[in-house]
Structure 1
């Protein structure tokens, strides 16, 4: 470039210091992390769909803070060490702004610890171990699924009410989530007059449930509580004689749609959930119709609680960014700690609110049952009752200890 004198030096200085022409703002990069292989693969797909639908809502309106939102997917596997490595790579190499997902609680615990190290906000959309909002809670993590403690508190009260004999047996998946849920359940067994008479452990890699069911049958019990999830739950109940469920009162802390819909001929006892496609609540039918328009041709052609939770959790994150007016993590954390959603926007019967102490969303718990109908499996779910957020809240969460904001690094993607 040729500069004319006598203005050459001044013109060159102005040229070098002038800002570049304004261009489009960089996108906000969100990583969706959930195990896309193994027994939670269908859950991971359902979770990602919910996040996608929420992001589409905002991108149709120009994104957030004038920035497009881009979702990338990563498979952390079910291995805690590998999950931590994936989180490290996403943050340091891919420069993601936020992380959503989880499904498996050990994955959530591992990845969120890494996220806290950098100050990256982690939205746990769907994993239900009580430990997620107790010993594994973090200032930068927010848990949007109800926990097994919430579900089992509601179910145990229902199961033990007016029952003369209250012997309770726990059937537990032998992993962190299973043990966390079982431990959280025990005080409620005692609170409602139950007597814990034993526990049976089911291996995490449950290929044949016969031996597990034989152990259960050998222990006299009136109520059997089941803390088993994913494909293992399908295998278990496919081998249970329905007459056993008639003689004993079995309850399952949580049954996701992804454990019901693919196995329409498999019976289930009473269970807990946070949403069902046929709920008569404001907004539910419109959400179902929108989902069906996009995914009605797929294997999971009706939406369930996992998609619902991921959708609302991702929306909560994006709304918090918009309200904060910045991507600064401290400002967004402050907004998420004040999160409250009225029934209409939650598609539930009660308002939901974020507990600022535990960073765990308190929401309506529904008691449901499953009437298998192989011809029309979407019709199998029936809601028989509900419990308010206050009635289902897990008491130990009032003592959760989070890192302070000063201990949480600033992060502004």
Structure 2
């Protein structure tokens, strides 16, 4: 009976260990979004600070130093992740850097999983040996090793995996050396704009639950305002990650919008609000020639001349600034456009939307429905998997979706 009880306890620890294992990579990749790598990195840190994990390195100073070095390198890379994930939109070199970093993070995760399993094995065996007789303990150990086939001692295990850890540390050092050349900044979470920011084509087959939002806003853009105002601002307001920019791209690329607004421009504003920069980017997007200077007045005169008597659509993406005077100054060249011109604004801040537009023009973007979440998850997670594999993992995927408060990536 003691042996059976011991085996039951072993299985408890085994299940506990398995509950820490990651999703299959293609499922995890489906959840990649603005802050995926940052969240993934936090999971690695949590595993590295577990008491059982740290006990594995007791009395092993050299190995402990290497572990601290690994943690330090991960922290250094993690400090610039927000900036990198924003800049990858338009910088192919940053995108490649992140893709390679993905792979190294997965390798680190695999290594830490094995170390956690070994730490758990040692803990369970120690508890068994301290609570039973030598004979019973030996038999129980034999049974347990058949469940977890890891027979090496902690020291031998560490000696075997240290070269792998050294390789990961060296790779991380390589990524760190690229931080400065790539222009990545520590703790810089602002979304960066590029002087030739382009709106990529949108594959609407990968977007779910936004058809009604799209149609409602397009109808607002195509309708004539009852007050016959020259310029109508249509803000899209919602939490970060809900898909405001993606929705705006869908609308911007819609054929009906392209026909109705032959003059169009898209500018990413971001937190670093700069009226001069925004005006320059509008001029570039509209192919209006100008002398590159920081004289806002002369730039606005150029923009005003380029928009005069034209029906235009402008998109100001990711607006944070709620200063009315600055907005009033920025929009002064827009008033020369013909009746029916529109400006789409994406923002997280309700106050920004109310400062820039009338309440009836504001579109509030809500969470997509659970069914759409499941469709989105299935599209990305199981797209290249066969039917049998899908059937086995579909239930797991549905549970994951249920536990998600919102779907953060469109």
Please say whether Structure 1 and Structure 2 have the same fold, judged by a TM-score greater than 0.5: no
Query: Which of structures 1 and 2 has the bigger CA Rg?
Result: 2
Q: Name whichever structure is richer in helix by fraction.
A: 2
Query: Which of the five TM-score ranges fits, normalised by the shorter chain?
Result: 0.3 to 0.5
TM-score by length of 2: 0.33
